[in-house]
Amino acid sequence: MRKLLAATAAVAMGLAVGGGVIPSTAQAQARTGSGYTPAPIAWGACASAALQARGAQCGLLTVPLDYARPGGTKIKIAVSRIKHTSAEADYQGVMLTNPGGPGGSGLTLSVLGEYVPGGVGGDYDWIGFDPRGVGSSQPALSCDVEYAGYNRPFYVPVSKSLERAWLTKTATYAKACDRAGGALLDHVKTTDTIADMESIRKALGAKQINFYGFSYGTYLGQVYATLHPGKVRRMVLDGNVDPRRVWYDANLDQDVAFDKNMDVYFAWVAKYDEVYHLGTSAKAVKAKYYATLQKLRKAPAGGLIGPDEWNDIFVSAGYYVFGWEEVAEAFAAWVNEGDAAGLKGLYAAPGEPGADNGYAMYLATQCTDVKWPKSWAKWKRDNWRTYAKAPFITWNNAWYNAPCRTWGGKVGKPVTVNGKKAPAILLISETEDAATPYSGSLEVRKRFPRSVLLEGVGGTTHAGSLNGVACTDDVIAAYLDTGALPKRVHGNRSDKQCEPVPVPDPTAAAAKSLSAAGGANRAPLRDLVRIR
């Protein structure tokens, strides 16, 4: 689940706990959080200006580092709350949220309720939180803030020296995280976050939770509903992780899907050749992309943007239609005018405190959720085979995940997702979602027999609900209002079809029309993507 995440300032801290064999009862408590009763959250002011403006409350929830030893070392989870605005008679409980990742900061996602049509979001207390190790939670993991710096070795290991350079670089990062994280690395699995969600529920005094999860957040929802089906009231899961593929295989699936989406993007750029002047066919634009990448191996754009940074910048176009114009503008400015300013603006500068927090926690969770292949021969064989048919992101993705080969945390076993006891939930996916391919949503639908799947037909945007598509957002609003869902149909297919998030139109006439229409919800679209 490779995910580009905005980093939050963090301080890495090592923790120490006692050893010993965990008995089976303690193991069960560790996976479910059932053996710990937290103190209430002491609510206060939020540091975020956006949360302050909305009257949000923030606080820290104290939880065990290891739920099997609830009396041992404690850590703190940063939580935010925007309380319901409806009459008490219309109040529908707490709504926990997660933006994905893993490693994504969700503290500000408590604002999500304002994007639900018809004021329905006002019926809930919206809860944002930074998962353990992330963002404002304490401690927060940071291993090497310079790791994603400029002019890294070329992703594609076309020589032995490049292969050795990346093997060394990724193993060194894993060691740095081991030193920085200490005992924390043994307790940041998906099941640990599920136990924290249970602690949040208890601290809020709620008998059940509602939950809205994007991307990796859908996996949290799946696992929570498996372990605590009676604690689930309503769930919206958008961009569904395939529980069969966690996590090594899921990344290979992404590689093929991203390549397909980039062809869609290159075709869009070609459609607007009068704007970008990069070619009149998808083939021509694609060729220019790869030719430029090779040139950057010898002479980085602006002295900073090499082939890896170039590839990273374009990855967002495979995730979402949001930002297509900005990427194309930077592409055109460099190729046609030699101006690297746009590229530099789209590639976040390394070196800020905690800059690698999201990435470090992505690895910390995925590397220990399940056993990864240790054999480099297998990685090499699988990725070269995939690269042959899908070159765009394959080696980028391989090295992104390669620290898992030598990761220091204790590896667990993933929960077998089973939604037979879960209530009716709403699943959402666009047909060509690359980060979480559509087949994953079909699999989750099978495992949750009361679920309903809404499909954004033909769309390439990942986890893009509540972005102004009335067909989709009105279903969400109706479900959160009354629990009503479209009728579930027979067969291995979606239950309701909607149009996808629309692609942008960069022509002057379209921009003028958009401005005249008061933005046509453009600001909320950008705001929500930025928040997530």
**Looking at residue 140, what DSSP letter applies?**
B
pLDDT of residue 523: 37
Distance CA 6, CA 9 (A): 10
Structure-token pair, residue 382:
């699988």
Tell me if residue 215 is catalytic. yes
Tokens of 322: 């949001």
Q: Which of 462, 473, 494, 495 is catalytic?
A: 462
Tokens of 26: 């303690």
pTM given for the model: 0.92
Place of tokens 């910048």: 313
d(CA 182, CA 139): 11
Q: What is the side-by-side strand order in the sheet with 94-98?
A: 57-64, 74-82, 125-130, 94-98, 209-214, 232-238, 426-430, 452-456, 496-498
Relative to beta strand 57-64, strand 74-82 is antiparallel
Higher pLDDT, 143 or 15: 143
- Confidence (pLDDT) at 17: 30
- For residues 398 and 383, the answer to whether their CB atoms sit within 8 Å is yes
Digit-coded pLDDT (tens) for 198-252: 999 999 999 999 999 999 999 999 999 999 999 999 999 999 999 999 999 999 9
Question: Rounded distance, CA 446 to CA 222, Å?
Answer: 12
> How far is the C-alpha of 160 from the C-alpha of 154, rounded, in Å?
12
What mean pLDDT do residues 280-300 have?
98
In the predicted structure, residue 313 carries a pLDDT above the cut 70? yes
Q: What is d(CA 4, CA 248) in angstroms, rounded to the nearest whole number?
A: 18
Q: What is the pLDDT of residue 243?
A: 98
**Quick one: three-class SS letters along 425-464?**
CEEEEECCCCCCCHHHHHHHHHHCCCCEEEEECCCCCCCC
E strand segments, 142-279 = 209-214, 232-238
pLDDT at 193 over 70: yes
On the question of pLDDT at 410 being above 90, the answer is yes
Mean pLDDT (the chain) is 92
Amino acid 349: pLDDT: 77
Decide: helix, strand or coil at residue 46. coil
What is the chain's alpha carbon radius of gyration, rounded to the nearest angstrom?
Answer: 23
Q: Which of 66, 196, 433, 473 is catalytic?
A: 433
Residue type, 142: S
Contacts of 256 (CB under 8 A, 6+ apart): 386, 389, 390
Would you state the pLDDT for residue 517? 39
Residue 506: pLDDT above 70?
A: yes
Q: From its phi and psi, is residue 199 left (phi > 0), alpha (psi between -120 and 50) or beta? A: alpha
Distance CA(45)–CA(53), nearest Å, equals 11
Give the pLDDT band (50/70/90) at residue 519. Answer: very low
Q: Catalytic site residue 249?
A: no
Residue 73's pLDDT band, with cuts at 50, 70 and 90, is very high
Q: Kindly list the distances between the CA atom of residue 146 and the CA atoms of 184, 205, 265, 485, in Å, as whole numbers in the listed order.
A: 22, 42, 30, 47
pLDDT at 33 over 60: yes
Q: Which of 432, 363, 37 is nearest to 181 (CA)?
A: 363
For residue 462, how many other CB atoms are within 10 A of its CB?
Answer: 27
Handedness of CA 257, 260, 266, 267 (dihedral sign): negative
User: Which pLDDT band, with edges at 50, 70 and 90, does 22 fall under?
Assistant: very low
Q: How far, in whole angstroms, is CA 503 from its chain's centroid? A: 21
- What type of residue is 59? G
The token duo for 333 is 């400015």
From the candidates 136, 215, 429, 465, which is the catalytic residue? Answer: 215
Specify which residues 127 forms β-bridges with: 81, 96
Residue 278 in this model has a pLDDT that exceeds 90: yes
462 is catalytic: yes
